[in-house]
Structure 1
C-alpha cells in the first residue's frame, strides 16, 4: 500500500532546497451547453490500492463508471504502471480514457518524463506538493523551479502545473505563499491545479482565488469535505455531494475563469472502499449541472 505522506515527502525535496468579464474566457471545454460536465476525470491516487493489485482491471472499471479522463501519479511502478508510455496510452484508448495529466517527482528525470508524456499527447506534468516549505524564500525558489519545469514541458508540447495543499494558503510573514508562486511564474508555461478541498480546509475562498488569478487555474480537484468536520481536521474527505463544499457555485465561477479540467479525487484514510467511492463520485459528476 502506498503512503501518500511519504510520497509527498519524497516529491517535495524541492521545498528544502530551494475582475475580468465572462467573455474573457470561454466555458471550460468539459462543460456541455446545458451546464453539465461532459468530460470529467479521476486522480488515480483515489484507487491506488486497487491499481497496485490489478492495473488494467481497475482502469476498465473506472471507464465503466463514466470517467473520460485520467490523472495519474508516480508510484512504485512509475507513471505508466510498468508499461511503456505507448503501451499505456494504447490501453487507455481502448477504454475510451484520455490520459490528461500526472503528478510526478519533478526532481528526478524530469526531462525524460516530459518527453514521454509529450510523445503520447498528454497535457500536463504536475508537481503534487512541496513538502511544506517553511519560508517565503522557499516559495520563491519553488517558483523558479516551476519556471524551469515549464520550459522543459513547452519543448515537449505540454504544460506544467502545481497542485496546492493547504499550507500555501496560510500567511508567512504577512505574505500568502500561493501569491508568491503565482506571481513568480510564467503564465505562458506554468498553470495551477486548484485542489478545492485544500483551499477550503485552509479557510480560504476558492472563488476569490479564481477571480484574483483568472486563467491561471486550468485544472481542479473536485473533492468534498465531510459536513461538520473540525476546521483543524485535515483528513475529512467524503463522497461527492455528501459533504459541505458548494461545487455548483465554485465550478460555475471556475468555468468563466479558465478552468478546463475537472478531476475527482478522494482521500481515503480509513477502511472505506475506494472503488465504491469512485463509482459514487462518477454518478454525482454525471448528474451535475451548474
Structure 2
C-alpha cells in the first residue's frame, strides 16, 4: 500500500499544477490523485511527475465530462500513465430512493463498461449523503450490491454518516484499490489525528481489503502547506 494525496487539498495554493507536483514530490507521498488538470499542458505535467518521482494514482473526473467526452478524458490521462478515474460526486437526488439508486448504478455501470474497453477502471467516491437509509439498508449498500466497479471509500465521510469505515472496508474487500484517509470532527474535516476516525485501524483494514493507494485528503485545510506536510508525515508513519 502506497501513500498519495488528492490534489483538491491544495486547491487554495495559487500555483500552476506542475509547481504543486514539485511541492508534493518534496514530501514522502509517492503519488497524486488529480482533481482536474487546469490549464496545464499534459506534457508539462508528465515532466513534473517524472521530476518529482510521483505516480498518478487516479483522477477525479465529473460524470458529465465522462459521458460527453470519454475519449478525450482517457487520452489526457493516458499520457500521465493514469488508468483509474473516479466520479467524485453525485448529488443527493441520485440516492434518494431505491429507484434512484438503481438508475445511478446503471448509469455508472455503463460508464465502467466503456472505460474498461479503453483499459481504464472506474471508481465512485462517497460523501455522507450516500448513506441515507432506504428500507432497511443504505443507498451506498444498495449501490455496492448492484454494481461491481471500484468504490473509493472515504473513511471520513463514512464516519460522518454514522457508519463504521472498518466494517465497510471488510465488506468491500477487493473493491477498494483506493481509500481516502480523512479525519472528521462534528461532521467537518480536520487534520488527521484530531477527529473521530480511528486512523490506525482504518489503515489496517484498508491493507487487509487489498487497497493499493491510501489517499490523503483534507477538504478545507486552514493552511494547505501545513496540511500537506502533516498528511505526508502521518501516512509515512502509518505505513511503516
Return the TM-score normalized by structure 1: 0.76
Question: C-alpha separation between the residues in 1 aligned to 2:142 and 2:72?
Answer: 28
Match of 1:126 in 2: 86
Deviation by residue 1:218-242 (Cα, 9 ceiling, x = unmatched): 211111123xx3xxxx3x2121123
**Structure having the larger proportion of residues in strand:** 2
Aligned residues: 235
**Matching of residues 35-114 of structure 1 within 5 Å:** 39-50=2-13, 52-73=14-35, 79-108=36-65, 109-114=69-74
Question: C-alpha separation between the residues in 1 aligned to 2:134 and 2:199?
Answer: 29
Unaligned 5+ segments in structure 2 are: none
**Matching of residues 1-290 of structure 1 within 5 Å:** 30=1, 39-50=2-13, 52-73=14-35, 79-108=36-65, 109-133=69-93, 134-185=96-147, 187=148, 190-226=149-185, 229=186, 234=187, 236-268=188-220, 272-289=222-239
Unaligned 5+ segments in structure 1 are: 1-29, 31-38, 74-78
Question: C-alpha separation between the residues in 2 aligned to 1:157 and 1:94?
Answer: 26
Cα distance, 1:157–1:87 mapped onto 2, change above 3 Å: farther
- Secondary structure of 1:217's counterpart equals coil
Cα distance, 1:85–1:141 mapped onto 2, change above 3 Å: farther
Q: Deviation at 1:129?
A: 1.0
Cα distance, 1:82–1:289 mapped onto 2, change above 3 Å: closer
What is the RMSD of the two structures over their aligned residues, measured on CA atoms? 1.8
Deviation by residue 1:7-62 (Cα, 9 ceiling, x = unmatched): xxxxxxxxxxxxxxxxxxxxxxx2xxxxxxxx311111111021x43333222111
- Secondary structure of 2:177's counterpart equals strand
Question: C-alpha separation between the residues in 2 aligned to 1:251 and 1:225?
Answer: 16
Deviation by residue 1:76-104 (Cα, 9 ceiling, x = unmatched): xxx32323433322221111111121111
